[in-house]
Structure 1
Amino acid sequence: MMKLHKFNIIVLLLIAPFLLLSCEDFVEVEAPDNKLVQDVVFSSDATAKSAMIGIYNQLFLAAFSNGERSSVTLLAGLSADNFRNINTTNIVRMEFEQNQLVPDNDSNLDIWSSAYNTIYMTNAMLEGLHNSEAITPELEMQLEGEARFVRAFTYFYLVNLYGDVPLILSTNYRENQLAVRNPSADVYIQILEDLQIAMDLLPIDYINEERTQVNKFAATALLARVYLYLEDWEQAETLSSQVINETSKYELLSEVNDVFLANSKEAIWQISPIGGGGLITNTNEGSIFIIDPIFSFFAAIQLEEEFVEVFDETDRRYINWIGYNEGIDAYFAFKYKIWSSTEFPIEEYSMVLRLAEQYLIRAEARARKGDLSGGIEDLDVIRERAGIALVSESNPGIVQQELLDKIFEERRKELFAEWGHRWLDLKRTGRAEEVLGANNPLWESTDLWYPIPAEERMKNPNLSQNSGY
């Protein structure tokens, strides 16, 4: 394992100048330094591949994507109705739970700045590939596809958390430091373009059989989700079907406890703890969500009891994905089973995209189009795996809205504690005010968007603020 750690150190050294050129530090670094770094990083296939691996590794460290206390998974989960803070004196996280964010919330700043730092690295990667004559054409296409995918993925969360956001597509820090917010429609156009190009450039197979580097079907899966959000039901169905039909690579696992294992056949894309560069080999989701029976005083997050009650007691997800700590009388997300580990090989990777979501995307797209039988069929695939009653048997005459409500409920149960799906689903389907406002007297419609961080607006006077802040 010493070789692995040395490799990570080399990668971090290669991309360190890119990290220094984050959105918070554009003005402090002179352009010639960046040119020298690019000459090194893109001087060979090996160093270019190392730089891309460095970007993947950074996703395990970046606040928005690391599954930890300032991640989309945790904070957007708190904004919805699946999680609750155990420690109510933590003002930063309580603001997310109570939908009372203020512009100087530190965790909100962490999401924004880490996302733009990731975007900056992908832009540097794309520019370096374009300017280099040393990279073999096949590898150049692959790396461009990977960088475009990560950029699109990051912008997807920015535009869904903040609405209009600056569309940064270069490393020109003098322009970027004064960038205005672009309409969300324009950001989506770029997301679509990046993902469509990524689909064309990325290989079909996983590199080294590790699902931590994206392939063509990862881009296809994310594009299916984007089209669902854009209410293009036809494209959402078509693209999710392409992933579902790739049965040689993907399978809805019958054993739910196998889903979140490293390189499971249900995984479309995962993030490895190896990106931490240290000895810890557990996922951050495992450490933040599991309430250890001995060290329960470390616990920060529990599941809302109302959410736990939506499960049938025979549901395999209830039995296997929800834990209970008697000492503090709290339910917790137990999708990841390892709270702390230094063992190799690594047993669990953080799940980002998986096959179950594609079935739920296609179920909703079909139901929206009026293909109720197709929607029921896909929904029942998920319900059958969970061991609960099939809609085709219990309610074969279900009408469209009832079916959509069933699909939304199934998304909540299947995708909880994964990337803020519940928060984003409530927003995109127009149900957030009805669902969250009913139990929150402080709720206002402007709470649908997170505030643009105050620190960013101090540095960039061209950044406008969302309404209500």
Structure 2
Amino acid sequence: MRLTIKKYNYLLIAGGLFMLLFNTSCKKYVTIPPPVNAVDEALAFADSSTATSVVLGIYSSIATGNSSNVFNAIKYGAMSADEGYYLTNASFDNFKNNTLAAGNDANVFWGAMYTKIGRANYAIEGVNASKTLSTSVKNQLVGEAKFWRAWHYFYLVNYFGDVPLVVNTDALTNGLLARAPVADVYQQIVTDLTDAKALLTTKYPSVEKARINKSAVSAFLARVYFYQQNWAAAESEASEVINSGTYSLVTNLNNVFLIGSTETIFQISLAGTSVPATVMGAEFIPASTTPSFVLYDTLANSFEANDQRKVNWTKAITYVGKTYYYPYKYKVRSTTAGTEYPVMLRLAELYLIRAEAEANESKIPQAQADLNLVRNRAGLPNTTAATKDDLVKVLERERWFELFTEFSDRWFSLKRKNRATEALSPIKPAWKPFQQLYPIPAQAMGANPNLKDNPGYF
């Protein structure tokens, strides 16, 4: 039979979008069409071609999405922190001002991410149950699906805190799950990534570093351990990728985000899609003399003198007599022959992760060396920070300058270091500390009586 309504519908339930009608005696599912790329369930995992297409569907849903997908993590997180905001579009002001209200402001994250988690769960179960797929194919596909499940839970838990932990395709049970503690979600993330790393090899199963390999898993696992303050594990995972010899920092900053960049560990391919350019280029580069998304002055004015990241990764525009800067890491706004793909993981972050881990382990010379690699690439001299505390402070700023508008890094960093109020209240008059977590969407709570909102929103 085809992918059943009950199994597919669970994706929508978990995302808070399920349509369950109640009558006086029983529950009934509304008829919902199957996904566009649905295949006969009995055949979906019968051979490597169809099974692979199921997993690649996760990738394609990210590549072809524009507004309601994982790339929202870039612009919304940037607005919530002190990276950038829409200058001439007031519809995003709740994120810019940190004045989100109870309701559905954050549904764009919740629903899209749970849908992708659901696809990953479906793939994991189907591949594992297949009696015809080879072991190597099973390992590759399950490893990729577990990576994607971990990726989306990482963002959910950092946006919302406690979240329902959906790890199977049991629609009715998942539709009534309560929020799992952050620690439990992180445990699942680590388990998924550890499993994925054991299943995958360092060889990319695609051209252009466009599918997950073992190094991509290690890079992301380094970030996860880093957030958990597991310094030794974060250092170890980062070192595994750095020392592999496969990747290197790109000398010319203008080439960091090109398709063939040696710094890229994992990127989303746009080949064969209808997407003309990256979401970052399309969103951030103005279409006219009127700016769209601009950097906060606190960021634009904080770069050190001669920092080539400001020279090459930002661009000035004058509007109503004032000079603003907008992100210019991606140079192409619209083209039919793109030269850039969205970069999901890159080497510079791993040097900064390892440097901060080393600093917290009191490995001062090693931390300085890793930090200086990133600074020198930006045209800056070696750091003068010589103690653990000074290095940690410097590294927070260095991440701001190196990783601005990359997947909410600044937003998450301020929160993990308990510095959000200190950094944001001076530039956001309406700031309240509870806004560090987004509200649970009303649609999700209406569908699941066991979901409760974050404090401050009720």
TM-score (ref. length: structure 2): 0.91
Name the residue aligned to 1:25.
18
Offset, 1:60: 2.2
Structure 2 equivalent of residue 377 of structure 1: 369
**Counterpart of 2:85 in 1: which secondary structure?**
strand
CA distance in 2, matches of 1:64, 1:181: 22
CA offset digits 1:390-444 (Å, max 9, x no partner):
11xxx26x22211111111100000001001000000001111111123333222
Between 327-336 and 314-323, the greater mean CA deviation after superposition: 327-336
Q: Which structure has more RCO (C-alpha within 8 Å, separation ≥ 6)?
A: 2
Q: 1:130 aligns with which of 128, 148, 158?
A: 128
1:463 pairs with one of 451, 454, 458: 451
Q: How many angstroms does 1:22 deviate by?
A: 2.5
SS in 2 for 1:269: strand
SS in 1 for 2:350: helix
Q: Which amino acid aligns with 1:76?
A: G
Q: In 2, distance between residues paired with 1:240 and 1:414?
A: 17
- The gaps in structure 2 that reach 5 residues or longer are 21-28
In structure 1, list runs of 5 or more residues that go unmatched.
1-12
- Paired with 1:418 and 1:16, the residues of 2 have a C-alpha distance of 36
| Match in the other structure for 2:78 | 77
Trace 1:155-234 onto structure 2 (pairs within 5 A): 155-234=153-232
Q: Secondary structure at the match of 2:42?
A: helix
Per-residue CA deviation, residues 145-182 of structure 1 (Å, 9 max, x unaligned), is 00000000100000111000000011111111111100
Q: What corresponds to 2:414 in structure 1?
A: 426
Residue equivalent to 1:284: 279
Q: 1-side partners of 2:408 and 2:251: how far apart?
A: 24
Distance 1:281 1:38 in 2: 33
> Which residue does the alignment assign to 2:102?
103
**Correspondence for 1:335:** 329
Q: Is the 8 A contact 2:285 2:292 kept in 1?
A: no
Question: How big is each residue's C-alpha offset from its partner over 1:50-97, in whole Å with a ceiling of 9 and x where there is no partner?
Answer: 121111111124556453xxx01000100000112212532xx11111
Offset, 1:272? 2.1
Counting only pairs closer than 5 Å after superposition, residues 26-425 of structure 1 correspond to structure 2 as 27=20, 28=29, 37-62=40-65, 63=67, 65-67=69-71, 71-87=72-88, 89-90=90-91, 93-106=92-105, 108-247=106-245, 249-274=246-271, 277-278=273-274, 280-292=275-287, 295-297=288-290, 299-327=291-319, 329-343=323-337, 346-391=338-383, 395=384, 398-425=386-413
Q: Retained in 2: the 8 A contact 1:21–1:29? A: no
Q: CA deviation at 1:374?
A: 1.1
The question of whether the paired residues in 2 share the 8 Å contact of 1:15 and 1:54 is answered with: no
The CA deviation at 1:371 is: 1.1
Q: Report if the CA contact (8 A) 2:10-2:174 is conserved.
A: no
> Cα deviation per residue 1:105-140 (whole Å; 9 max; x = unaligned)?
34x101100000000000000111122112111101
1:365 aligns to what SS in structure 2? Answer: helix
Residue of structure 1 in register with 2:25 after alignment: none
State the shift of 1:266 in Å.
0.6
Contact 2:257 2:340 in 1 (8 A): yes
Q: Within 2, Cα distance between the matches of 1:401 and 1:414?
A: 20
Deviations 1:231-252 (A, max 9, x none): 11111111101011011x2111
One-letter code of the match for 1:148? Answer: K
Between the two proteins, the alignment pairs up a number of residues equal to 439
Structure 1 residues 36 and 419, CA gap change in structure 2 (3 angstroms): closer
RMSD: 2.4
Q: Which position in structure 2 is the counterpart of 1:5?
A: none
> Following the alignment from structure 1 to structure 2, what is the Cα–Cα distance between the partners of residues 56 and 123?
14
In structure 1, C-alpha distance between the alignment counterparts of 2:49 and 2:190, rounded to whole Å? 29
- Closer/same/farther in 2, CA of residues 100 and 15 from structure 1, 3 Å limit: farther
1:322 is displaced (CA, Å) by 0.3
Query: Matched residues in 1 for 2:381 and 2:243: separation?
Result: 25
Tell me the equivalent position of 1:9.
none
Deviation at 1:21, TM superposition (A): 4.9
* Structure with greater proportional helix content: 1
Q: Alpha-carbon deviation of 1:454?
A: 1.0
Cα pair 1:26 1:174 within 8 Å, conserved:
no
Q: In structure 1, the residue corresponding to 2:43 is in which secondary structure?
A: helix
For residues 156 and 147 of structure 2, what CA distance do their matches in structure 1 show? 14
SS at 1:326's partner residue? Answer: strand
- Give the aligned partner of residue 424 of structure 2: 436
Provide the rounded CA distance (Å) in 1 between the counterparts of 2:237 and 2:223.
Answer: 9
User: Taking structure 1 as the reference length, what is the TM-score of the superposition?
Assistant: 0.89
Counterpart of 1:316, as a letter, is Q
Q: Secondary structure at the match of 1:22?
A: helix
Contact residue 219 and residue 237 of structure 2 kept, 8 A: yes
Q: Secondary structure at the match of 1:41?
A: coil
String of CA shifts for 1:432-460, please: whole Å, max 9, x gaps.
11111233332222111011111110111
